[in-house]
Chain A
Amino acid sequence: MSLYYVQKFLYELNRDETVQTAYRSDRHAPLEPYDLTDEEIRALTEPDIGLLFHLGVNGQILMHFAAFHQIEWQDYLQRMRDGIETHGPVREGVYAMTGYEGTDAHAERLGQKGS
């Protein structure tokens, strides 16, 4: 897996309209320069927001990708929750590094109702 390159592609897509145009016409071609696994390519081309979150993409990068695909905010949050439910805890990245516990654990810690 190559979380760095998944995020690097999304970083370029989020800020560069020429990459956005290329992605709109062919979702695979702009990915070719990046060293990605088949799973990562699938997540980026479907797109599968939940899988991308599970793979470890930072939400500050992922939310722009979701907005680019016209995914409404609450739907975006739910897709990430579903991704954790389906695929398991975040594998890598800032959330895994710092001990991602999931929504229920956070809710309990903060004395709030679960999502």
Chain B
Amino acid sequence: MALVYAGVCSHAPGITGRADQADPEVRDAFYAAFHQMRDDIAASGAEAIVVIAAEHFANFFMNNMPSFAIGMADFYDGPIEDPGWLKIDKFRAPGNKDLSQRLITEVMQTVDVSYAEEWRFDHGIAVPLHFLTPTFELPVIPVNINCQGPPLTPLHRAWAFGEALRRAADAVPEKIAIVGTGGISHWPATPDSGKINEAWDLDFLDRWCRNDKDALLDYDDLTVYADAGQGGFEIRTFITVSAAAGGATGTVHFTAPIPIFAVSCTIASYELLD
């Protein structure tokens, strides 16, 4: 059919795990934007949700780290975190092995991608699903980009991957939603956790909304680390969605620093072209 939805959201574990420690007014506005994203995905008629994540050593480690990986299973368990810590109960989310296989086969025509018939979700996917498919009504296709263990996936390859995903999504009969989830600036799980470079985030989101390829790829890891922390490496997931959106421009529905969540909590989407 086609790609019917393309957006991005935050996934920090504090969003659920430390919800009680956040300013309720800002937190609830963010949650409302998350719920609106859920409604928008449902309204798009999406029959599967591709979640482009930056997983955090739940499945992939430095013994065999893929630049890109796509799940190819009929179900996925999660979260690997203690449910009391993440405040998300253990779950089994539906996948769609057949659809995954068709998407992967098409992506592979231009981008080398690993596939995984086992995948245990960490907060990077579990938190978005908690809001976007709370009853697991959509099959999930998990995707990972190496944003954690240097050498990291180059930004221009993240862009090429997004183009390949778009081509693959347009080639299958199912309606596909793509959701990227990551950063933007943050220093997660370090002594600097809670620091947020809001100006950097807003500049990045401006580039993202304009879908300006040159501007989105005009970063290098050293300056990203200095200005946006190692969590900033996760802009790869946003950039892949930009490429998948195929020239569409976007809207930020919500963004605000929530330090106890360790990130500028963000919900944004593209207005896909017909």
Contact = CB atoms under 8 A, between A and B. Distances in A.
A80 B226 contact: no
B61 interface: yes
Given A99-B226, A110-B195, A62 B189 contact: yes
A73 B19 CA distance: 13
Most buried by B among A61, A62, A106: A106
B80 A110 contact: no
Interface residues of A, number: 35
A11 to B, nearest CB: 5
A16 B193 CA distance: 26
Contacts of A106: 187, 192, 195, 229
Given A15-B80, A97-B150, A98-B221, A61 B57 contact: yes
Contacts of A59: 188-190, 193, 230
Nearest to A57: B189
A104 to B, nearest CB: 10
B190 A80 contact: yes
A80 to B, nearest CB: 4
Contacts of B58: 14-15
B149 interface: yes
B191 A115 contact: yes
Summarize B's interface: helix, strand, loop or mixed.
loop
Given A95-B230, A102-B191, A67 B82 contact: yes
B145 to A, nearest CB: 14
A77 B195 CA distance: 12
B225 A11 contact: no
Interface in B56-111: 56-59, 61-63, 80-82, 85
Interface residues of B, number: 36
Contacts of B188: 59-60, 63
A11 B14 CA distance: 20
B230 A94 contact: yes
Contacts of A62: 189
A98 B195 contact: no
Contacts of A84: 191
Most buried by B among A7, A53, A60, A81: A60
A61 B222 CA distance: 21
A14 B221 contact: no
B57 A14 contact: yes
A15 B190 contact: no
Nearest to B59: A15
B192 A94 contact: no
A68 B13 CA distance: 15
Contacts of B251: none
A64 B124 CA distance: 13
A60 to B, nearest CB: 4
Interface string B224-235: 011101100000
Most buried by B among A84, A95, A110, A112: A110
Interface of B: 13-14, 18, 56-59, 61-63, 80-82, 85, 120, 148-150, 187-197, 221-222, 225-227, 229-230
A-B residue pairs, 5 tightest by C-beta: A59-B189, A60-B56, A98-B225, A63-B189, A67-B85
13 contacts: A14-B80, A15-B59, A53-B191, A59-B230, A60-B57, A67-B82, A67-B85, A68-B82, A73-B18, A77-B193, A84-B191, A94-B150, A110-B195
